[in-house]
Each structure stands twice: as C-alpha cells, then as structure tokens.
Chain A
Amino acid sequence: MEQNAQKTKFDLATWSNLANIGSNSAISGIAQMVNQDLKVTTFNLEEVSMKNASSLIGKPDDQIVGIYLMFTGNADGHIMLAFPPPTAYELVDMAMGLPPGSTDTLGEMEKSVLGEIGNIAGSFFLNAIADIAGSRLSPSPPVVVVDMAGAIMGSILAEVFEERESAFAIKLVFATPTRQIEGRFLVLPMSGSIASKQEG
C-alpha cells in the first residue's frame, strides 16, 4: 500500500514537470497557427475521480466543440481541446485569415481547420515531452465533434477508468490577453514507461 502511495506521488511529480513544458509548447503551437498572443491562465495537474473527470471540459450539458486525439507509444493517453462553439468559429476565422464573424457554422472545411489546430497542439505537447523523456509518443489523427461535454467525455472516461478509480488529469485554460479566445486543453495519460524513464 505504501509502495503504491509512493508510486502515485512520484508519477504526479514527474508528469507535473513534463506536463508544464508540454502544455506551454502546445499553447505556443496554437498561438502560431491562429497568429494570436495566447497565455496559460490556469494550469492544474490533479488526481480525479470518474465523477469529477466528467466535467473537466465543461458542465455535462454544455455544448462544446471538442478536438480529440489519442496518443500511443511509450505511454498511452487522451488529449482534448475544447471550446464553446462561438470561440471555435473565431479560431477558424483567425486561422484562415478571415474577417471576424465570417464563420458561423462548422462544415467539413472548418472542422478540418480545427482538426489541424488540435493536431498541432497535440504534436507540440507530445514532442516536447518525448524529447525530454527520450521516449516515443505518437498522436492519432484528430477527431472534431460538436456535442454535450459529458457525452464527448463519456467514451474517453470509459477507457481511462475501466480498471481504476482515479486518474491523473493535466488541465489548462488559455486565453488571449483580451479573453477574446478562451479554451481548455486536457490530457489524460493512462499508462506507459514515461515516468520510469525520468526515474533514473
């Protein structure tokens, strides 16, 4: 039992060190793509229960745009970028150099742009961590979905909590200085040897 507690503490510290660097890298990737000055306003690394995890990207009935990637390699896990729909529209305008207010719905092209934003955020996060840890972490293609936050998180949490009662969540909120854009970036690492690579 004590050994488990020590392992838990160690994992938390390791992920905390790596996650901070990875998260800042992810936000810098998004900032470059949308040509905006983005800052991390809140950073949390916490152990969450399944019940609490269901509201990590918003209240369960909040309508959100979620950009999801799974990662595999030395460690497995899930990455989610989440925005309220109006914010997602603004991001599309910024990424495509369109006048503000041009986008008011998400068709195939707009979803593709958002998927690319998720792809960049996920890749920047994973590459920053993999470079430090000397490990291999590969993202899946991004999936963009618009629905209730609880519904989007459900199948992710089913996998994360299949054989455990708590999980680590890396959550950060980022925004422009004017808060024109505010989004959530969530990582749920599941398993793998990334922590043990740091141990030595």
Chain B
Amino acid sequence: MSTTVETIVIGLGEWAVRKNDSAALTCVGLGSCIALCAYDPVSKVGGMAHMVLPSNESGTKIASAKYVDTGIPMLLEEMKKKGALISRTVVKIAGGAQMLSVPGLNGRLNVADRNIAATKTALAQAGVSATGTEVGGNSGRTVQLFLDTGRVTVRATGKETCEL
C-alpha cells in the first residue's frame, strides 16, 4: 500500500522549518537559485530555504530568505528554536545553474556562481559544512527534503531523480 506524501512548495525567497512532520519540502524548477536543505535526525527538525540572490545590497538589511547571507542564519536560528542541534544537523545544497548566458553583456544574469560562493561562505560562517551538493551546470532542478527521514532528492531536467 502506497502513501501519498504531502508536498509543501517553497517559492522564491521563501523558507519553512517543520518538526515531527511527514511532508516533503519542495523547491520546484530551481535555476540559478539555491535550495538549502537542513535536517537534524534526532530532533526531527527540518528546514528548507529557496534563496535567489547572494546578498542584500539595497542598504535595507531586512532578514529574508531571498538573500543567501540572511537566509541561512535565519533558517538555522529557527531550527535551533524548534530544538535542532546545529552540530548534528545535516545540510545539503542544490541549484546555482547558469540558465541564460547573453553574449556581450559582461556576465549580467550570472548570479548562479555568486549564489554558490555566498552559500559556501555563509555556511562556513555558521560553522556548518554541506555533506551533499548538486550545484552548477545549466539545467533546472526540483529538490525535495522528506521530513520523516531527512532524505533529499534532486531531479534535474532530462535526468533521473537521484538522492543527495
């Protein structure tokens, strides 16, 4: 008998943290954005952020999952509040694909590489290292974090779903 897993879609700039849940947090059609998946297997606290840009350069330092530099600390902090221990939290990242490369525009739209670099920096600052990464390339991805087990799957365009 198969059971249907509830899917919670995390849109651009959104994030979610759940405890003792059986749903799957999902980033659908991820391009240059980064999906950060974090899971503490003991407290069963899991979170996902769908981050669009490396950092907030507007001067209004609003904490938001739209930006990597504010999204990662915010997600980890919320996980701690829900009982996660960051030292045993498993972190995996996916995304950062270069989808559009326009000739002659000096790398405009090339936010993917900056997102990947900012993610690595923010994780290092938080004292966390990603145990699974599926970043770069030029294909879209759909990423799921299953909150009952912490399993993370990635389905890239034209490829089979794989576990991260």
**Residue positions of A touching B, CB distance < 8 A:** 50-51, 53-54, 59-63, 68, 70, 140-141, 143, 145, 147-159, 161-163
Contact = CB atoms under 8 A, between A and B. Distances in A.
Given A140-B105, A147-B99, 19 more contacts: A54-B11, A59-B29, A61-B29, A61-B142, A68-B102, A70-B102, A70-B109, A140-B104, A143-B101, A147-B140, A150-B30, A152-B140, A153-B29, A154-B12, A155-B31, A155-B32, A155-B98, A155-B112, A162-B57
B127 interface: no
A170 B40 CA distance: 44
Overall SS of chain A's interface: mixed
Contacts of B109: 70, 155-156, 158-159
Main secondary structure of the interface of B (DSSP, over half): loop
Nearest to B32: A155
B122 interface: no
A162 B55 CA distance: 9
B52 A154 contact: yes
Contacts of A154: 12, 29-33, 52, 99
Which 4 residue pairs across A and B have the least CB separation, nearest first?
A150-B29, A151-B140, A154-B31, A60-B29
Contact of B102 (A53, A60, A141, A163): A141
B38 interface: no
B102 A61 contact: no
A160 B32 CA distance: 14
A24 to B, nearest CB: 26
B44 interface: no
A51 B33 contact: no
Interface string B28-63: 111111000000000000000000110001100000
